Structure 1
Amino acid sequence: MRTLFPSLGRMLAAAALAMFMAAVPAWAFAVPHVFLVQNSGWMEPFYSDPQSQFKPLVGALAGSVVQPGEAVVLAAFNQSLPGAPSPRALLSFKAGQDSAQKITQALRGLDTARKPGSAALADTDLGEAVQAAIAQALGGKPGIVWLFTNNRNSPNNDQATAERNREFYQLIHGGAAITKALAFPLRMPVKGEHYSANGLMVYAFAVGAEGNRALDALLAARRVERVITEPPARLKPLDRDTVRLAPRKVENAPGVRFATAPNGVLRADVAPDARQPTARIEWNLENTMYPYTISSATLSARSTLGGENRPISLASSKVSALAPGKPAPLGSTMTLPVAQIPDKWSAQALKSAGSAYVLPGTIQLHLADQKLELSQAFRQRMAALFPGDPLPDIFIPPARVQASTAVLPVEVRVHYGMGPLLALGGAALALLGAAGAAAYAYARPRVAHLTVEDELRTMRARPGTTQPIYDKAGQQVAQLKTTLFGHQLLDLREGAQVKVRLGR
């Protein structure tokens, strides 16, 4: 039975992963890292050559990609045999600021392995190492597996390396656990007592959706690029995010301006009075699948904006010989969701005054009947780094990968000025002023001059009140009702002499 760790190593790894899972929130990009370092016989010159940069490379990459708080497992691998398990844990810890130093220290005493009870150098099983890292070191949970190898996959010293490499790549392409796979071919000439080598391969395998997001974040932050300047060759996926659309020019869209935000979102800045139903956009179509050339594909596109799903008319429905890094022009006509743009007097517009009302959406570009081919330059480079190794043939994409979809996030941003809001604010202030004046007028006491039995009197009252009027004997002879518009005598007693002269 093959195992990843001896018992002590297994406990250390489990403890580190448990601490990590308890400390990191589910939404974070922090994931465990497993570093697999090959030490089979084929790696002899990387260990024996005093000028070898192999171990420093592992430490430097780990120090760049691992973030404080993340769980780290370092293991050496060759081929598992009774009494000699592979991979074998060298180190398991929760990363701090000294990850590179810890990795380098742990690798210092590592040398090429030999078969149990024999002087023969150990063989290699790449698939075994990766499967063990996923199933045991990560426990089937998300993470990133880094593999450092010279690409000689030869279990039991099997010379049929082409077949073994196909088995290894079947694990990558066909396995559901690996969501993203990248390969970094590096020039590293070394010479040992038994062998010499020209190059080294570093693989990065993202496990699970969270591992994929974490690897994408490392690439976007250029943390890998700090150590490895060579562009990664994409092995998986080959059915999504295979191309990129970059706007070059917009025509026939008054009041609309397109631009790409730093986060890659395409923004359409629209004036609130723009009512042009269509816009013609000239794109640069870029292949993002290094080292593959899209030899041919059929294109179609749709937009989902403001809840409206509409087809995008393309100037050409075919693409051919699209190499990485060499954009091709692509014209399109797309419909803007003008019916979904709020009127400038609407509540949404007033709420967005001085900023922008955002309608999120996407543009989807679909490539059907997609045919990929490995560039000749990449084949030649691989042949120079790994002479005699048929690896470039194995980079041929699986036959089932014949379509792909690229999704471009879009924001339609409608910019509303402050005019309507200021106008409404002025009207509101005017209404408030009128209401205040009315309130003051209502609350201000009114003065009434009365003559009661030839006696002059002055009474004050607020609008809406009624006061009794008494004669000299103290008998009520009438009532005085006060309104906003004056005074009125009520219930005047027969024969009473009461007169009112209105006052203010």
Structure 2
Amino acid sequence: MTAPAARFAAHAALAALLCAGAPAFAASHVFLVQNSGWMEPFYTDPASQYKPLVTELVMAATQPGDLMVLASFNQGLPGAPSPKAMLSLKVNADPVSVRTQVGSALAGLQTANKPASAALADTDLGEAVNAAIHQALAGKPGLVWLFTNNRNSPNNDQATAQRNREFYALIHQGGTISRALAFPLKMPVQGAHYRANGLMVYVFAVGDGGARELDRLLASGRVQRVITEPPARLKPLDRDTVRLVPRRVDAAPGVSFSMGPGGMLRADVEQSARTPAAKIGWNLENTMYPYTIVSARIEARSNLAGQNLPIALASDTIKALAPGQSVPLQSRMQLPVAQLPGKWSAKAIGSAGSAYVLPGRIELQLLEQRLELSQAFRQRMAALFPGDPLPEIFTPPARIYGSTALLPIEVRVHYGIGPLVTLIGVGLAAAAALGGAVLAYGRPRRAWLTVEDELRTVHTRAGLTQAIFDKGGNKVAQLKTTMFGHRLIDLREGAQVRLGR
């Protein structure tokens, strides 16, 4: 069997295992466990925590209903396909059962040899990840986990720096990987041939669905209970790189600021405020571990009620901002007065006694951005992977020239109940007048007529017209009654008829 054929067979096996009995898509996980020659001490050292770590991370990352594949990998050769699926299952609600199956699959895993040779197998990280993405997940959303000592050396290639760059290019330039994190872990092990100080765990989110799943997983804290080290961000490097935290607010009269749920900035504005603005002191924090923002130019804008306004900054540059560190940033923000509803508007009346809410956001852009690995991360990598050129390939791609951070903001305009009370009063008065008119219109009325010197009393109502007859029974006129009185119409010529006595 040729090398491509061996790879195809392995990939087909992965795909078949993942898809067998698959329900409507939930979340899929592919766990790739390296067992090439470089991993020998992780398998032979009696104190090695390699397999227990894999088991615990599988248990933490998956939930009932998830599909998962557990596969070993090294480098695919004729007669020795890689990756090689060891377990495929739909996670059930019995954690004991899942743990037992994962433990049993890992128990017999040892370092692999090349076909028909005593030589230990080489490593191809890119081959394993590509197989997981394109064959096992078949391009569908999911998470790919990679456990490795981070030595990428297919065909025993000693140019590990170049091979690692190729692997890094796969992460950054591959459109299917939407998010990537790396967890560098201390794990000293000693084998018969090699020793190692550390292990790298990667997680790659495939597609937007995979990114959302990874966000939910990290927010749950389940992974952090297994891996306490902070993850190093590999992708994306152009958004959510900094965080704005309000430190102090000097508001104008009639304006107050507070922090709402989820980090939302909330501005409460009284209807009487004519120039609602505020001087806001922020802490600008670098959230892009392990990168230091060497330098960047800053621009900020607010987008509220369809109005895009610049935010004036006291300083428009930052320098040497290490991951996890923050710098003060002063700003002045104007709220959109012209877009606030007037107190007699329908929106204001409908919000009387509560608040009319205008949602929006603050957008912060870092331009002409220069990033580099923090010294602390370089030192940590040098201790965990001595002699490994890994930190070099963590250098951000040149195309990452800027980034954007968004902060949700909510402007709440408070309207008094005065206009509403006035409108209610006017409405009640109008209703009373209308009711009075209706009563007046409908009440019985009396009219006095003199017909041929005979005084008559006629009972009528507003809106009625009644015929008037003389003593001989001839129609001589009509009496029309309105809300304002009576009058005679259609008088016959010579008729002796008049209103009154």
User: What is the aligned-residue RMSD (CA, Å)?
Assistant: 2.8
Cα distance change, pair 460–78 in 1 and its aligned pair in 2 (3 A): farther
Which of 330-339 and 94-103 deviates more?
94-103
CA contact (8 A) 1:45 1:192 kept: yes
Tell me the CA shift for residue 203 of structure 1. 0.8
Which residue is equivalent to 1:11?
A: 16
Which residue is equivalent to 1:358?
A: 357
- 1:17-57 deviation line (CA, Å, top 9, x unaligned): 6x334xxxxxxxx5432221222232233334454433333
- Looking at structure 2, the residues matched to 10 and 220 of structure 1 have their Cα atoms a distance apart, in angstroms, of 29
- Looking at structure 2, the residues matched to 458 and 72 of structure 1 have their Cα atoms a distance apart, in angstroms, of 100
Which residue is equivalent to 2:51?
A: 55
Tell me the CA shift for residue 456 of structure 1. 7.0
Tell me the CA shift for residue 494 of structure 1. 6.0
Cα distance change, pair 407–208 in 1 and its aligned pair in 2 (3 A): same
The aligned amino acid for 1:12 is L
Number of matched pairs: 493
SS at match of 1:5: helix
Is residue 2:330 matched to residue 1:331? yes
Cα distance change, pair 52–442 in 1 and its aligned pair in 2 (3 A): farther
CA contact (8 A) 1:477 1:496 kept: yes
Is residue 2:78 matched to residue 1:79? no
Q: Pairwise mapping of residues 304-315 of structure 1 onto structure 2 (< 5 A)?
A: 304-315=303-314
Which residue is equivalent to 2:210?
A: 211
- Looking at structure 1, the residues matched to 46 and 80 of structure 2 have their Cα atoms a distance apart, in angstroms, of 27
Tell me the CA shift for residue 449 of structure 1. 5.2
Q: Pairwise mapping of residues 96-135 of structure 1 onto structure 2 (< 5 A)?
A: 96-98=92-94, 100-101=98-99, 102-135=101-134
Q: Which runs of 5+ in 1 are unaligned?
A: 22-29
TM-score (ref. length: structure 1) = 0.88
Is residue 2:285 matched to residue 1:280? no
Which residue is equivalent to 1:402?
A: 401
The aligned amino acid for 1:232 is P
- Looking at structure 1, the residues matched to 210 and 13 of structure 2 have their Cα atoms a distance apart, in angstroms, of 26
- 1:63-97 deviation line (CA, Å, top 9, x unaligned): 33334444323222111111221112223334443
Which residue is equivalent to 1:269?
A: 268
- Looking at structure 2, the residues matched to 95 and 435 of structure 1 have their Cα atoms a distance apart, in angstroms, of 72
Which residue is equivalent to 2:87?
A: 91
The aligned amino acid for 1:214 is E
Which residue is equivalent to 1:438?
A: 437
- Looking at structure 2, the residues matched to 197 and 161 of structure 1 have their Cα atoms a distance apart, in angstroms, of 16
Which residue is equivalent to 1:27?
A: none
Q: Pairwise mapping of residues 237-256 of structure 1 onto structure 2 (< 5 A)?
A: 237-256=236-255
Tell me the CA shift for residue 499 of structure 1. 6.3
CA contact (8 A) 2:255 2:277 kept: no
Which residue is equivalent to 1:24?
A: none
CA contact (8 A) 1:20 1:70 kept: no
Cα distance change, pair 68–488 in 1 and its aligned pair in 2 (3 A): farther
For 1:34, which of 30, 33, 38 is the aligned residue? 30
TM-score (ref. length: structure 2) = 0.89
Cα distance change, pair 473–105 in 1 and its aligned pair in 2 (3 A): farther
Tell me the CA shift for residue 315 of structure 1. 0.9
SS at match of 1:263: helix
Cα distance change, pair 463–338 in 1 and its aligned pair in 2 (3 A): same
- Looking at structure 2, the residues matched to 38 and 360 of structure 1 have their Cα atoms a distance apart, in angstroms, of 49
Which of 346-355 and 323-332 deviates more?
346-355
Cα distance change, pair 276–195 in 1 and its aligned pair in 2 (3 A): same
Is residue 2:45 matched to residue 1:46? no
Cα distance change, pair 443–261 in 1 and its aligned pair in 2 (3 A): same
CA contact (8 A) 2:267 2:412 kept: yes
Cα distance change, pair 108–447 in 1 and its aligned pair in 2 (3 A): farther
Which residue is equivalent to 2:24?
A: 20
Tell me the CA shift for residue 474 of structure 1. 4.4
Cα distance change, pair 356–56 in 1 and its aligned pair in 2 (3 A): farther
Which of 312-321 and 390-399 deviates more?
390-399
- Looking at structure 1, the residues matched to 114 and 37 of structure 2 have their Cα atoms a distance apart, in angstroms, of 10
CA contact (8 A) 1:266 1:411 kept: yes
Is residue 2:480 matched to residue 1:481? yes
The aligned amino acid for 2:39 is M
SS at match of 1:269: strand
